[in-house]
């Protein structure tokens, strides 16, 4: 087995964070576009990760500020998993990945950058998407600008909001 080191992640995970929670609505009073929010319901939010592992790296979180699966209501559980499923379907239709990494990190020791607010990561993966650049030059090669990905994904998430209201 070979290791592929990602030293930039430890800087982010252990580094000082600005006050507030990036998942909570009033975080710096930024607009949804500035926060890269693709979808928001009364229960769940889907946003793009500003520090992605790959193009289309999404974060799906409950609106309520909670840190444990045990704190979710049955309605939140269903809505959260439904949005993880819808998000992968949208990413598949727009970006055509070969696979996904989907998961959540509970607690700092498990790698949670924001351990106070539960959130799923959805990372699209393509054959050959990891290469020597990250390991040798401390550079990630992400071929599409995050704003361009946001613009491609937003209409499909808006459609999900409309479909939900019908």
Q: Give the residue extent of every domain in the chain.
A: 7-165
Mean pLDDT throughout 61-66? 92
Residue 71: pLDDT above 60? Answer: yes
Q: What is the pLDDT of residue 21?
A: 78
Which tops the pLDDT comparison, 64 or 34?
A: 64
pTM: 0.75
Phi, psi of 125 (to 5 degrees): -130, 145
Sequence-separated (6 or more) residues with CB below 8 Å from residue 149? 48, 55, 56, 95
Q: Domain spanning 7-165 has what CATH number?
A: 3.30.428.10
- Residue 47, SS3 per DSSP: strand
Cα–Cα distance, 164 to 160 (Å, whole number): 6
Please list the active-site residues. 119
Helix (H) or strand (E) holding 147: helix 146-165
């Amino acid at each position: 087995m070979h290791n592929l080191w990602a030293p930039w992640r430890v800087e982010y995970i252990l580094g000082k964070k600005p006050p507030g929670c990036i998942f909570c609505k009033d975080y710096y009073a930024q607009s949804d576009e500035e926060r890269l929010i693709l979808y928001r319901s009364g229960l769940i939010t889907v946003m793009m990760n500003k520090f992605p592992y790959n193009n289309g790296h999404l974060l799906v979180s409950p609106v309520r500020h909670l840190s444990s699966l045990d704190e979710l209501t049955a309605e939140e559980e269903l809505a959260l998993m439904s949005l993880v499923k819808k998000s992968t379907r949208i990413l598949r239709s727009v970006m055509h990945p070969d696979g996904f990494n989907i998961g959540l990190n509970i607690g700092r020791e498990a790698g949670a950058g924001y351990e106070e607010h539960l959130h799923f990561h959805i990372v699209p993966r393509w054959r050959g998407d990891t290469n020597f650049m990250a390991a040798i030059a401390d550079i990630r090669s992400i071929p599409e600008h995050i704003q361009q990905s946001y613009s491609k994904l937003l209409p499909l998430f808006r459609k999900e909001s409309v479909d939900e209201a019908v």
